Structure 1
Amino acid sequence: MDLEQISRKSLLGQVLRLPLRLIPPQMTMPIWLGKLAGKKWIVGAGRNGCWLGTYEYQNQRVLEKTLKLGNTVFDIGAHAGFFTLLTSVLVGEKGKVFSFEPLPQNLGYLRKHLSINSITNATVMAAAVSERSGMASFRETSGSYQGGISSQGTLQVKMVSLDELIASGEIPVPDCIKIDVEGHEKFVLLGAKSLLESAHPTIFLSIHGRPVYQQCCQLLESLGYKIQVLDKPDGGELPKNLDLIASYPG
C-alpha cells in the first residue's frame, strides 16, 4: 500500500498517519520494503513512504524492470535521494548514478543518505538542470518537494545543461535519465537535445501540468521517442500531474 495515495484529509489517512507523527524527524530508520529494504533513511528528509519503502511504488517497479547492472543513470531533481539510492542499488557496483539537486537542505540530506548507506557509485551534482549553464533564481516553497527555477525566486543556484556537461567530459553519456523538476521538464530536455538525438537514453519523466505534458511529448516524439503514460486512467482526460516513460525504438 502506498501511503501517499491515501488523502491526508480522509479519516483513513489521518488514522494511518497518526502514529507516524510520533517519530522524531531527525531519527534514522531502516527502510522497510522493496529493493531498498534495510537501507537507512532520515525520517524528516521526505515523506513517510520513503522509509516505509512504498514511495512512488509503481515508479520503483518500472525502474527495477528497466535498469541493468552497469548502467549509468542521471537523477535530475533528486530531492533527498530516494531514487538515487534505488538506482545505485539497481545498477550495481559497476554502474554510476549522477544526482542533480540545487536546494541546500535537500543536498544535505542527499549526501547524508549516501554516506550512512556507504554508497560509492553515486556522484552529487549541486545544480539545477536546464537548457543552458549559468546561474538562476530558484523559488523555494514550504515543501521540500516543490519549488523550481523562477524569475521571482530569491535563491541563486548553479544551472547546468546536460549537453554542455557531456561535451566537456565532466559526466558520461547516460543509459537512463529520471526527471522530476516541478514544471521545468521541457527545459531539461532542450538542454539535452544533442544527447537525446545521438544516444537515445530511456527517460522517466514526472510531468507537472498539461501544457508541459504536451510540450515534452511533442519534443520527444520529434526525436523519434515513443511515449508511454504510466498508470493511465481508463477513459477521460489525463490528470494534471503524471509519470511517463519515453523510449527509443530498437
Structure 2
Amino acid sequence: MIYYYDNKRSISDWYIKLLRENIFTITIPGFFYQYSIMRFFLKRTFPFQSVKKGDNVLQVGSAAWTFDAGVSQTAMLSTLVGEKGNVIVFEPEKKNIEYHKKYCRRYGIKNIYVEPFGVWSDSGHLDFLIHQESDGGHVSEKIYHWRGGKDTNFKKTTIHVKTLSSYLDLKKIVPKLVNITVNAGEFNVLQGAEKSFKDIGNFTFPIFGPRKWYKDAIEMLIKSGYKVVLSDAPPTLRGRPVYRNQANKMCKNNPQRIVAFATKDISILPQKRLIPIEKLKRERQTYVFIQNHANTKNEKKIKG
C-alpha cells in the first residue's frame, strides 16, 4: 500500500516558515539554535517521527553546505537521537569529510561518525564526479550520464564503495532509520541493502527530479514488507535557505519535491495524516507527480 502524508499542520509549518527560515539562523549559523532547540519541532516533522533518543541511524551522503544553512539532515538526526544515539554518515568526498569533523569539534558533537567511503549496489570501486563549485553536487558518473547531465564542471575520480548489507553484517548494527540522499543514486543504495531489509525498520529518500527508477524502488520495498508513504515537503528542500544557496538554485524551480518514507510499522505516523494514494485529491503535488510518471504496466503491482 502507498500512502500520502498530509503535512499541512500548524506546528510543522510554524517551525519551517518562522523558525528555520528566519534570517538570523541563516546569517549567523550555530548548532544550538539551528538544530538543538528545534528538537521539539523536528521530532514532529515528516519523515523523522520514527527517530527517538538512543537510536542508531544511518545517513548516506551528507553535503557540507547544508550545516550552516540550517537544513542538514545529519545535524537534524544528531539532535533527534541525542547523546546515547549514533548517526553514522557515509561520505566519500574528502572536503565534506573534513568539514563534518570540523563542525563536530566546533560544537562539541560526539554522536556523528563519518565512514570515509560511499554506499552502492555492489562493493568495490565506483567512477565518481566531484563538482568543482558545489559540495552537494557530486555524483556517480553512471548516474550523471543516465540522467542526461550537461554540466562540465566536474573532476573525475574513483571512490571506494560498500553495500549497506555488508557493512551492517560486519558492524552488527541494527539501524532504526536509513536516510539516503545521493543525487539520484538512492535506488542503487537500496539494492545494496536488500539482504538487510529484515533488520532495517525505516528508509527515507527523495524521488523527485531525474529519479525515474522510483516505481521500481517502491515495488521492491513493498514486496519486502514495507509500507510506503509519500509527501511533498522533505525538510531540506522546502525552505528559503536552500534557495539562497547558489549551488542549489535548481531546487527552486522543481515543483515536485517528493520524499518517500518506507516503514514496516505504519502506526509510528499520525493516522489522521495518512491518505491512501488512490484517494489523493488532484491538486496535491504528489498526485501530479504520480500521474506524470505513472508506469501503467506496473501500476497494480505497485499499489500493493
Provide the TM-score with structure 2 as the length reference. 0.60
Return the structure number with greater relative CO, CA threshold 8 A, min gap 6: 2
Tell me whether 1:29 sits opposite 2:20 in the alignment: no
Q: Which residue identity is paired with 2:139?
A: G
After TM superposition, the structure 1 = structure 2 runs for residues 61-80 of structure 1, keeping only pairs within 5 Å, are: 61-80=45-64
Tell me: CA distance 1:231–1:31, structure 2 relative to 1, closer, same or farther (3 Å): same
In structure 1, the residue matched to 2:7 is none
- Equivalent positions of 1:1-250 (< 5 A) are 29-31=29-31, 33=33, 35-37=35-37, 61-80=45-64, 82-141=72-131, 142-151=133-142, 154-169=156-171, 172-196=173-197, 198-207=198-207, 208-231=209-232, 241-249=257-265
Q: 1:95 to 1:195 in 2, by over 3 A?
A: same
Paired amino acid for 2:191: L
Structure 2: which amino acid aligns with 1:161? Answer: T
More helix by proportion, 1 or 2?
Answer: 2
Structure 2's unaligned 5+ residue stretches are: 1-15, 146-154, 234-253, 267-304
> Separation in 2 of the partners of 1:184 and 1:111?
25
Structure 1's unaligned 5+ residue stretches are: 7-15, 39-52, 233-237
Measured in 1, the distance between the counterparts of 2:156 and 2:137 equals: 15
* Alpha-carbon separation, structure 2, partners of 1:239 and 1:92: 34
Q: Would you say the 8 A contact 2:232–2:257 is kept in 1?
A: no
- Could you say what secondary structure the match of 2:158 adopts? strand
- Percent identity between the two aligned chains: 23
How far apart are 1:2 and its partner, in Å? Answer: 5.5
Residue 101 (structure 1) shift: 0.9
For 1:140, the aligned partner's letter is: I
TM-score (norm 1): 0.71
Using the alignment, how far apart are the partners of 1:206 and 1:125 within structure 2?
22
What amino acid does structure 1 have at the position aligned with 2:161? M
